[in-house]
Amino acid sequence: MPAPMFRAAALRIRVPATSANLGPGYDSFGLALALYDEVVVRVAESGLDLDVAGEGADKVRRDHRNLVASSMFTAFDHLGGRPRGVEVRCLNRIPHSRGLGSSAAAIVAGITAARALTVGGEDRMDDERVLALATEMEGHPDNVAAAFSGGFTVAWTDGGVAGSVCLRPHDSLLPVVFLPTTEVRTAKARRVLPPSVPHADAAVNSGRAALLVEALTHRPDLLLTATEDLIHQEYRRSVMPRTLTLVDKLRGDGVPAVVSGAGPSVLALVAREAAPALLGRAPRGWSSWATDTDAGGVQVRSL
């Protein structure tokens, strides 16, 4: 493969927040939300010039180990070579360590930026390879699939190769996010999970996950039953007790509520007309907002 050439024009990458698992779809289901990080990239004379504003700006790195930058350079290597330099400007709106896919958004943004800056990038790296690389970097495909494709995604790996299908959520749904001030790292939330679960619990979850596909796309009236989970949420109560207390209260009142990703945010899937009343259910110190689902996934445009 000949060394790549690079575009001179600056590009803007927009990538959505995501909520993974959705109850029973552990490490498989993802939903893209209309809350976006934006990254502006351009080829520079030399080195890496990176700045960050917005969520996490006081904590994230501004060197090659920044997740957007490291993902971009890894993708350049897969594309055949790196430019002499890159300028990167990140505007973060997705809260970090809250279960809303901030790391997946950074990875997808970086890979997409590298492909878009490379002349003939889509021929060198098709969508399947983008998903495969993003999954390799993230460790599982649920968030990255939704961030890349938008909509409601079902993702899997087969022989180490990632795949996904994108479905359209029912038009009546309006997700409501309950956001705490506290953070929980995904690694911490995973450490409390047991190495195995009871066969009966796994069987229930399999049925609920299958039902959730129908409920999210065609039968929202089934969402309360379809979002029941027995294999990961309860085990996480020790590291996010207020999250699970809120899930319990909402579900007790008939609201289809789940832990968003690895938490500690809570996601409720409700009809549009029910969303305004639900916003007042946030615990003291938490914030809440209603957001449309995102249908397009990551977007690129020239500046």
pLDDT score of 160:
85
The class of domain 11-167+294-302 in CATH terms is alpha beta
Burial category of 159 from C-beta neighbours within 10 Å (exposed 0-12, middle 13-18, buried 19 and up): exposed
Instruction: Decide if pLDDT at 74 tops 90.
Output: yes
Query: What confidence tens digit (pLDDT) does each residue in 157-213 have?
Result: 998 899 999 999 999 999 999 999 999 888 899 999 999 999 999 999 999 999 999
Asked whether residue 255 carries a pLDDT value surpassing 80, the answer given is yes
What is the mean predicted confidence (pLDDT) over 68-93? 97
Please report the pLDDT score of residue 229 as a whole number. 98
* Pairwise CA distance, residues 205 & 152, whole Å: 18
Q: Which of 111, 49, 113 is nearest to 84 (CA)?
A: 49
**pTM of structure:** 0.96
Per-residue DSSP letter, 199: H
For domain 173-290, which architecture applies?
A: 2-Layer Sandwich (3.30)
- Tokens describing residue 26: 């552990």
pLDDT, average across residues 86-110: 97
Q: Are 104 and 133 in contact (CB under 8 A)?
A: no
Alpha carbons 78 and 1: distance in angstroms, whole number: 11
Q: Is-contact 298 216, C-beta < 8 A?
A: no
Confidence of residue 2 (pLDDT cuts 50, 70, 90): confident
At residue 114, the 3 state secondary structure works out as helix
Task: Report the alpha-carbon distance of residue 238 to residue 254 in Å, rounded.
Answer: 24
One-letter amino acid for residue 8 of the chain: A
Q: What is residue 128's predicted lDDT score, i.e. its pLDDT? A: 96
CATH 3.30.70.890 range(s) for the chain read 173-290
Is residue 43 very low, low, confident or very high in pLDDT (cuts 50, 70, 90)? very high
Do 78 and 71 touch, CB atoms closer than 8 A? Answer: no
pLDDT at 1: 74
Q: Is 300 helix (H, G, I), strand (E, B) or coil?
A: strand
Enumerate the CATH 3.30.230.10 domain ranges in the chain, comma separated: 11-167+294-302
Percent of the chain with pLDDT over 90: 96
What is the DSSP annotation of 29-94? EEEEEEEEEEEEEEEESSEEEEEEEETTTTTS--STTSHHHHHHHHHHHHHT---SEEEEEEEE-S
Best CA proximity match to 175, nearest among 294, 276, 268: 268
pLDDT in tens, 126-162: 999 999 999 999 999 999 999 999 999 999 999 889 9
